[in-house]
Structure 1
Amino acid sequence: MKLQTLYKLFFVVVVTVFASCVDTLDKIGFTIQPENDRVSVGTDTLKLLSRTIQVDSVFSRTKYPILGEYIDPVFGNIRSEYVGEFYYPENQAFKDGAIIDSVRMTVSYSSIIGDSLAPMRLAVYKVIEELPKNKDYTNFDPKTKSDMSAPLGTKTFTGRNNTYRTETYYSGNTTQTIKIYEIFTKLPKSIGEDFLNEYKKPDHGMLKNTDTFREFFPGLYVTTNFGNSTILNVNLTSLNIFYKYLDPKGSSTKTDT
């Protein structure tokens, strides 16, 4: 009785092992797929030729210009500069008794290409002709529309200077904080005085709307005149006019605010 039971157990084990040895999954799917539905896959080699064609204009309507110069070992010298207008803030007003203190242009950027420690020098020139309107592509030389006799201001900088602020961006559950580096360039105080004198005219003179403001202040031409190792990805270019005035209600000592 015991021998018969052991024999049956042994027989089941042998059959199971034998079935496991011959089992294969390589052909699953192909055995039920029609011959006409099978796809043949192969490779090939193609030869493509390309070339660079110089165009007569470049896309110029951008809020994020690039500035600087960089010598690449493969592509050679890369240089970029920009010229642009400014938007006069709506309902902007000077306080009564305003006295211009200083004028400053700020170039803000968050990323660079090249050497972050090599010195560069920024130069700002006054635009003296109104820039083309409503054109996405332009090909004019900024120097022909600017007063190139002398820069309004210059500033030496490095790509990772010590002047920066932080901005935090939120996207869903993700938070990202980035550094915004800034280059401050002092400009002549006379620019601010011209703005103030124009504002004091009836109906605020040429500061009353965007079109007349473009005629009053056509813009600035921003370039570099020293260094060839850094290119900046500019986020914002702003013109700041600082002034002081006497607030009759806010100062017991009658000092400037």
Structure 2
Amino acid sequence: MLKNRLLFYCALAISGITAFSCTKEPDLIGLDLLPPGDLLNIDYIDTSSIVAYTVREDSLRTDELTLNLLGSISDPVFGTTTASIYTQYRLSKNNITFGENAVADSMVLTLVYKGIYGDSLAPKTIRVYEMADSINYDSSYYSTRTIPVLPELIGEATFVPNLSEADSVDGNYMPPHMRIMLSQAFADKIISADTNTLKDNESFQKIFMGLYLTSEQATTPGTGSILYFNLLDAVSRLKIYYHNSTDTSTIDFPIGSYSARFNQYNHNNYAGADPSMLEQFADSSANTEHLYVQSMAGTKIKLRIPYLKALAAQKRIAVNEALLVFTVEDTSGVYEVPAQLALKKLDADGDYTALPDETEGSSFLDGKSRSGKEYRFRITRYIQNRLLNPGDPDYGLMLFAAGSSLSGNRVTLRGPNAAEGKIRLLIYYTIVD
């Protein structure tokens, strides 16, 4: 039989206190989450219950993504990160011929912009090399993978990205794009290829294995940017301009959806990053006033809620709602925070498993940025299951940026030791006989 319906606001945060008390005033942060009229029914339980610290991401799969990232950013909190691209390019048709006495006039690489993260006004320097080993469309490639490249630079450009203005090239409309002139030696290599090399893509890619694009490293904190490109757009291609004995013409070498491609992310071992983050890498018990989430296979947060065992032993309860709330530390907007964070359970092997609340749909679990100031997760079923089965192994939770493989965003959150706005777990429940 249900007893009096009680609504408890449980602000669970690391404070070093293992017992609980109902004598303190509730923290006003988070009271906006309560239904109107229920403020008089609140008890405040002060516990040492959430353990959280920052860990490094091992690597993420980055092949055949819808976006590819390129650039370098020197973040005053996260240090310097450089994003590079490995990609194939293809014949536009089989049995390409350039005609008699063909001569390459020039060759251009174009990549269509889809966005930018960081300083959009600063010049960028992008360099292009030929790959010295092949990649395979059917293989998996991760963010730490590197492919050998030939030493000769075949293209370089320094420019300020213009993502707002379309261009007209050769009389044709082209969406905003990066344009890099490739070397004459590389163009000559293409145009002098024999007919067997140019008969089909399998033969072509044995000789022309692909391109490696990388950025000059940003070195001054607060500078640099990460460019987003759509390599699936028809304008993302190589184009050779040539003439032969009878005519002048062009031939495209598209990238497209059938080209193997992947991103490589280099965090430079987090040199110059916030010392607190580096301490958490080395020691999970280090000061956790701040926690750090970075995309591009950067950093994530491991969490545990050990107090739930004690709560389960004290009373039988039915959880009406449980909200896990994270407060953003830096809301200045200089570095845009991730649009959404993701939360997963960990199994015995450290792999991700879905929270039971995900069966209600992504909007139920939430995790979306609230005006860049806060993230909330509804984990009602997860908390109820933990309370009903306190003896089950608990391997913790992992918090990370949703879409981390194809985004440059990052965020600093207030951690368990923050003076204000620390992590909070709000549990609304009913006592059951």
The answer to whether TM tops 0.5 is yes
Q: Aligned pair 1:234/2:229, yes or no? A: yes
SS, match of residue 150 in structure 2: coil
Does the 8 A contact of 2:121 with 2:160 survive in 1?
yes
Flag the structure with larger Rg: 1
Change (3 A) 1:94 1:211: closer
Q: Give the CA deviation at 1:146.
A: 0.5
Q: 1:149-228 maps to which residues of 2 (within 5 A)?
A: 150-160=152-162, 164-165=166-167, 180-198=175-193, 201=194, 204-225=195-216, 227=218, 228=223
Distance (Å, rounded) in 2 between the aligned partners of 1:64 and 1:121: 20
Paired with 1:128 and 1:88, the residues of 2 have a C-alpha distance of 19
**Structure 1 residue 220 displacement after superposition:** 0.8
Counterparts of 1:100-119 in structure 2, within 5 Å, are 100-119=104-123
Pairwise mapping of residues 62-141 of structure 1 onto structure 2 (< 5 A)?
A: 62-91=65-94, 93-94=96-97, 96-97=99-100, 98-132=102-136, 134-138=138-142, 139-141=144-146
When the two chains are superposed, the root-mean-square deviation of aligned CA atoms in Å is: 3.1
| 1:246, distance to aligned residue in structure 2 (A) | 5.9
TM-score by length of 2: 0.40
**RCO comparison, higher one (Cα < 8 Å, 6+):** 1
Cα distance per residue 1:14-47 (max 9 Å; x no partner) = xxxxxxxxxxxxxxxxxxxxx9598543321332
- Distance of aligned partners of 1:211 and 1:40 in 2 relative to their CA distance in 1, 3 Å threshold: farther
* SS in structure 2 at match of 1:195: helix
Higher helix share: 1
Aligned residues: 197
Identity %: 22
In 1, distance between residues paired with 2:204 and 2:140?
Answer: 21
Task: Say if 1:71 and 1:229, in contact at 8 Å, map to a contact too.
Answer: yes
How many Å separate the matches in 1 of 2:127 and 2:198?
A: 26
- 1:122 touches 1:226 (CA, 8 Å); kept in 2? no
Aligned AA for 2:166?
Answer: Y
Structure-to-structure mapping, 1:14-93, within 5 angstroms: 40-46=6-12, 47-55=50-58, 58-91=61-94, 93=96
Off by >4 Å, runs of 4+ in structure 1 = 35-40
For 2:181 and 2:108, locate their aligned partners in 1 and report how far apart those are by CA, in whole Å: 5
CA distance in 2, matches of 1:226, 1:37: 64
Gaps of 5+ in 2: 13-49, 169-173, 250-433
Distance 1:209 1:136 in 2: 24
Residues in 1 aligned to 2:141 and 2:98: alpha-carbon distance in whole angstroms: 40
Q: 1:235 to 1:133 in 2, by over 3 A?
A: closer
Residue 106 of structure 1 aligns to a residue whose secondary structure is strand
Native 8 Å contact 1:115 1:159 kept in 2: no
- Tell whether the 8 Å contact from 1:120 to 1:226 is kept in structure 2 after alignment: no
Alignment check: 8 A CA contact 2:73 2:217 kept? no
Gapped regions of structure 1 (runs ≥ 5): 1-34, 167-178, 248-254
What is the CA–CA distance in structure 2 between the aligned matches of 1:210 and 1:229, rounded to whole Å? 37
Q: Answer whether contact 2:161 2:178 (CA < 8 A) is retained.
A: no
